[in-house]
Chains A and B, each alone.
Chain A
Amino acid sequence: MLVKAPPEAPPRPATPRRRRSLLPYGLLLPAAVLLGLVLGYPLVRLVVISTQRYGLRSLFTGTTSFAGWDNYAAVLGDDQLLPVLARSVGFCAALVLGTLVIGFGVALLLQRLGRGMRTTVTLCLIAAWALPNVASTLVWQWLFQPGYGVVNWLLTQVGFGDLTQHDWTTSPASAFTLVWLLVVWQSVPFVALTLYAGLSQIPRSYYEAAALDGAGPWRVHRTITVPFLQPILGLVTILSVIWDFTVFNQIWILTQGGPNDGTTTLGIWTFTRAFSGNNFGQGAAIAVVSVALLVGMTAVYVRRLVRSGEDL
C-alpha cells in the first residue's frame, strides 16, 4: 500500500505570532544587568573567594593567593560542621513544618468563619506580618526577658513553676524554641493568607457536587482541596524552605549563635567565620556549601516546575 504523499505544506498562519525583534531583549536588559551585577557576579565571586586565602589583609591590599581546596578541607574537616549542618537542616524542617501546619490550619479556619470573625483574624495576621523583622525580634526579646518578661510571668501563673527569672538564651534547646516561636509567628501570616486566597478560588460547585455524591469531609479535602491547592502549596513550601534555611536576623539578634554555638546555623557560621574570624575564604566555602545544599533540596521542585509547563 502506498503511503499517501504528505499534503502541501500547511498554509502559514495569516499573521506570524511575533516578529523577531530586539524589543524583548531591551525590556529584559535592566533586570538582567541588575541581577547579573548584584546577584550573579557575587555568586561567581563567592566561588572564587572560596578557593583563595582571603583574610583581613587581602581586604585592604586586594592581594590574595590561590588556596585550592584548602578552605573546603578546613570547613569539611571542622568538628563544627556536622552539628551545624544537622542544626540547620533540622531547624529548617521544624520551622517549615510548624509554619505550614499552622498556616494551613488557619487558612481552612478562615474559609469556614463568619464574615466578622474572618476580618478580625485577617487583621491580626496582617498586624503580625507588617511588624518589621527587627522590631518583632526586639519585641520578642522583651516578651521573654528574664525578670520582667510577660511570657515568663504567664507560664509561672499557669503553673510551670517559678520561671520569672528564666533566661531563654542560656540553653540551646530553649534558645531554639525562642527563635522557632518568633519565626513561625512571623511566617504564618504569609502562608495562611496565600493559602486562604487559593482556597477561596476553588469553585463552590465542586463542593456541591461532592456533597451530592455523599463524600465525607476528609474525602472532599483529599480529592478537591489539596489537589486544587497544589501549585500554591508547592510555592509556599519552597519559599518557606528557602527563607527558613537562611534565617539570619532573628538568630543573630536573639542569640548571636550561642549559647556555646548551640544555635549556630550555616548562615551564622558563614558570617562569624568571615567577619568575626576575618577568614573570608572559609566563610565563602561555607556559603558555597549551603547554596549547594539548598539547590539540592529544591532541585526536585524546580525540575518539576520546568517540566510541567511548556509555556514556562
Chain B
Amino acid sequence: MMRRAGRNVAAAFFCLVWIFPVYWMVLTAFKPAGKILQPTPQFLPVDVTLDNFADALAKPGFVPDLVNSAVVVVAVVALSIVVAFLAATALTRFRFFGRRSFLIGVLVLQMVPVPALVIPLFLGLKSAHLLDTLFGLILTYVALVLPFTIWTLRGFLHGIPVELEEAAMVDGATRGRVMRSVLLPLVLPGLIATSVFAFITAWNDFLFAYVIMKDSSGYTLPVWLVSFSTSTGTDYGGLIAASTLFALPVVVFFALVQRHLVEGMTAGAVKG
C-alpha cells in the first residue's frame, strides 16, 4: 500500500516537472501584455486574451512560411515513407549481393553529425542550383530521415512472416499486389512511427532551413519563430503565442498516432 502511494507521488512529481514548461507556454500565450512580464508569476489563467495570437499572426511572413513548412512536411513524409518502404522490402525479402554493405552504409550515415553536413551540402546544393528552393530542402530532409526510417521499417518487416506473402503468391497474386494488399496493411504501424519521425524532423529543423533558405520569402516556420528574438529585444507575448501555434500540429499528429508510435519504435528496436 505504502509503496504504491510512493510510486504515485513520484509519478505525480515527474508529471509536474515535465508538463510545466508546456503549461507555462500555453498559459503565457493567453495572458494580456501587461501580465506577462511580472516579477511575481501568476500560475492560473485569470485574464485570458487572444491578443498575443493576433499579434503573432499579424507578423509578416507567417502565412507564406506556414505554407512552406506544410509543403515541405507533406512532401518529406510521403517521399521518405515510399522510399524507405521499398528499400526495407528489398533488404528483408531478398538476399542479394551488396545487401550487407548497404546496411552498414546506412548505419554509418546515421552517425554523421548533422552540423558537419551543413557546409558540403550547402556547396552541393549551390552548384546544383537548388539553394533557396523548397525542393532542395525537401531532398535534404528525406535523406536525413532515411537511415532511421529504413532501419525501423526493416525491423518491422522482419517481424512479418514471409509465408503470408508466399501464400498470396501461390494464390496467384503478383508481387506488386502482394506488397499492396498483404505487406502494406501489416506494416502500417511501422509506417506511422516512421512518418512521425519524418514529420518532426522536417517540421522542426532550424539549421538547414536557416542555411539553405537565404531568401526571406523562403523561410520555414522555425526560422520565422526565431525572428521574434531580435537584438532590440524579444516580444515574449507574440513569441510564446507563435510557439504554441507552431507546436499545435505536432501535438495533434502525436495524439492521433500515439498508440502506434511506441509499438512501432519497439518493433524496430527489438528486431533490429
Q: Mark B202-245, 1 if CB is under 8 A from A, else 0.
A: 01101100010000000000100110110000101001100110
Q: Give the chain B neighbours of A267 by CB distance below 8 A.
A: 113, 115-116
Contacts of A164 in B (CB 8 A): 39
Check if B89 is an interface residue, CB within 8 A of chain A: yes
CA distance A26 to B28 in the complex (A): 52
In A23-62, the 8 Å CB interface with B consists of 23-25, 27-28, 30-32, 34-35, 37-43, 45-46, 49, 59, 62
Q: Is the beta-carbon distance between A142 and B103 smaller than 8 angstroms?
A: no
- Chain B 228-272: CB-based contact to A (< 8 A → 1; otherwise 0): 110000101001100110110011011100100111011001101
Assess the A302–B204 pair: CB atoms within 8 A. no
Asked if A274 CB lies within 8 Å of chain B CBs, one says yes
B207 contact set on A, CB distance < 8 A: 248-249, 252
Q: A248-B207, A253-B226 are in contact. Are A28 and B266 (CB under 8 A)?
A: no
Tell me the bound Cα distance from A193 to B264 in angstroms.
11
> Of the candidates A28, A41, A283, which one forms a contact with B124 in the assembled complex, judged by CB atoms under 8 Å apart?
A41
* In the complex, residue of chain A having the shortest beta-carbon distance to the beta carbon of B107: A302
Does B44 sit within 8 A of A, measured CB to CB?
no
What is the chain A residue whose CB lies nearest that of B224? A134
Give the contacts of B87-138 with A (CB-CB under 8 A): 87, 89-91, 93-96, 99-100, 102-121, 123-124, 126-127
A-chain residues with CB within 8 Å of residue B240 when the two chains form the complex? 138-139, 142
A14 to chain B, nearest CB (A): 13
Q: Which A residues lie within 8 Å of B104 (CB)?
A: 302, 306
Contacts of A280 in B (CB 8 A): 119, 123
Chain A residue at minimum C-beta to C-beta distance from B148: A239
By the criterion CB–CB under 8 Å, are B206 and A295 in contact? Answer: no
Tell me if B139 is interfacial: C-beta within 8 Å of chain A: yes
B262 touches A31 (CB 8 A): no
A126 lies within 8 A of B39 (CB): no
Closest CB in chain A relative to B6 CB, distance in Å:
10
Residues on A with C-beta less than 8 A from B251 are 127, 130-131
Q: Let me know if A136 and B269 touch, CB within 8 A.
A: no
Q: In whole angstroms, what is the CA distance A53 to B82 when docked? A: 40
Q: Does B142 contact A (CB under 8 A)?
A: yes
Contact B114 A121 (CB under 8 A): no
In the complex, chain B residues whose CB is within 8 Å of the CB of A248: 114-115, 207
Q: Are A130 and B250 in contact (CB under 8 A)?
A: yes
The residue in chain A whose Cβ has the minimal distance to the Cβ of B127 is A62
Give the interface SS of chain B, mostly helix, strand, loop or mixed.
Answer: helix
- In the assembled complex, the Cα of A242 lies from the Cα of B151 at a distance in Å of 15
Cβ A193 vs Cβ B265 within 8 A: yes
Encoded as 1 (CB less than 8 Å from any B CB) or 0, chain A from 218 to 236 comes to 0000000000000110011
The answer to whether B247 and A270 touch across the interface, beta carbons within 8 angstroms, is no
Q: With A135-B247, A142-B28, A306-B104 in contact, do A121 and B15 touch (Cβ < 8 Å)?
A: yes
The reply on B78 being an interface residue by CB < 8 A is no
Identify which of residues 131-190 in chain A touch chain B, using a CB-to-CB cut-off of 8 Å: 131-136, 138-143, 145, 147-148, 150, 153, 164, 185, 188-190
CA distance A138 to B241 in the complex (A): 11
Q: Contact flags (1/0) for A270-312 with B, using CB distance below 8 Å?
A: 1100110000100110011011001100100010011000001
Asked if A249 contacts B120 (CB within 8 A), the reply is: no
- Chain B residues closer than 8 Å to A41, beta-carbon distance: 120, 124
With contact pairs A27-B87, A42-B120, A235-B269 given, residues A197 and B263 touching in the complex (Cβ less than 8 Å): yes
Find chain B residues with CB under 8 A from A236 CB: 269
Taking a contact as CB atoms under 8 Å apart, the answer to whether A35 and B105 are in contact is yes
Q: Is the CB of B115 within 8 A of A231?
A: no
Contact B111 A298 (CB under 8 A): yes
Whether A45 lies near B124 (C-beta < 8 A) is: yes
A191 to chain B, nearest CB (A): 11
Q: Decide: B120 and A31 in contact? CB cutoff 8 A.
A: no
State the CA gap A142–B127 with chains docked (Å): 40
Contacts of A21 in B (CB 8 A): 94
Can you list 26 A-B contacts with CB-CB less than 8 angstroms, sorted by A residue number?
Answer: A24-B91, A24-B93, A27-B90, A30-B83, A31-B84, A35-B105, A38-B139, A39-B109, A43-B112, A59-B126, A113-B7, A121-B14, A124-B18, A127-B22, A127-B251, A130-B253, A135-B243, A135-B246, A138-B228, A148-B38, A232-B269, A235-B272, A242-B113, A246-B113, A295-B111, A298-B111
B binding-site residues for A, Cβ under 8 Å? 4, 7-8, 10-12, 14-15, 18-19, 21-22, 24-25, 28, 36-41, 82-84, 86-87, 89-91, 93-96, 99-100, 102-121, 123-124, 126-127, 139-140, 142-144, 146-147, 150, 175, 200, 203-204, 206-207, 211, 222, 225-226, 228-229, 234, 236, 239-240, 243-244, 246-247, 250-251, 253-255, 258, 261-263, 265-266, 269-270, 272
List of 8 A-B pairs having minimum Cβ-Cβ separation, nearest first? A38-B143, A287-B116, A42-B120, A246-B113, A27-B90, A197-B266, A31-B87, A24-B94
